[in-house]
Amino acid sequence: MKLQRKNGLRATALGALAVSGALVLTACGSDNNAGESGDTGTKATAASSAVCKDAKGQLLASGSSAQKNAMDLWVKNYMASCTGVEVNYNSSSSGEGIANFNQGTVGFAGSDSALKPEEVAESKKICSGGQGINLPMVGGPIAIGYHLEGVDSLVLDAPTLAKIFDSKIKSWDDAAIAKLNPDAKLPKKPIQAFHRSEDSGTTQNLGKYLAATAASDWKYEAEKKWPAPGGQSASGSSGVATQVKQVDGAIGYFELSYATSQQISTVSVDTGASAPVEASSENASKAIAAAKIKGTGSDLALDLDYATKADGAYPIVLVTYEIACDKGNKPETLATVKSFLTYTASDEGQKLLSDAGYAPIPAEINAKVRETVASLS
Give the pLDDT band (50/70/90) at residue 48: low
Q: Give ∠ CA 236-347-52 in degrees, rounded to 5.
A: 85
Give CA–CA dist 341/108, Å, rounded: 9
pTM: 0.78
Per-residue pLDDT tens digits for 116-133: 999 999 999 999 999 999
Element (H, E) at 79: helix 68-81
Q: What is the DSSP letter of 359?
A: B
Alpha-carbon distance values, 218 to 131, 168, 178, 207 (Å): 34, 11, 21, 8
Residue 356: the pLDDT is 84
The torsion defined by the Cα of 240, 245, 250 and 253, in degrees rounded to 10, comes to 40
Alpha-carbon distance values, 101 to 119, 160, 185, 244 (Å): 10, 37, 49, 31
Alpha-carbon distance values, 24 to 40, 43, 67, 291, 368 (Å): 10, 10, 22, 30, 23
On average, the pLDDT of the chain sits at 88
13 pLDDT above the threshold of 50: no
Residue 156's Cβ-count burial label (10 Å; 0-12, 13-18, 19+) is: buried
DSSP 3-state assignment of 186?
coil
- Would you tell me the crossing angle of helices 34-52 and 331-344 to the nearest 10 degrees? 130
Residue predicted with more confidence, 213 or 11: 213
136 pLDDT above the threshold of 50: yes
Q: Is 268:276 a contact under the CB 8 Å cutoff?
A: yes
Q: Where do the DSSP E strands lie in 106-242?
A: 108-111, 132-147, 155-157, 192-196, 232-234
Give CA–CA dist 335/352, Å, rounded: 23
Residue 53: the pLDDT is 86
Instruction: Kindly report the length of the chain.
Output: 377
Give CA–CA dist 121/316, Å, rounded: 29
Residue 50: the pLDDT is 76
Residue 357: the pLDDT is 83
- Would you tell me the crossing angle of helices 4-26 and 34-52 to the nearest 10 degrees? 90
Residue 71: the pLDDT is 97
Per-residue pLDDT tens digits for 176-201: 999 999 999 999 999 999 999 998 98
Composition of the chain by helix, strand, coil, percent to 5:
45, 20, 35
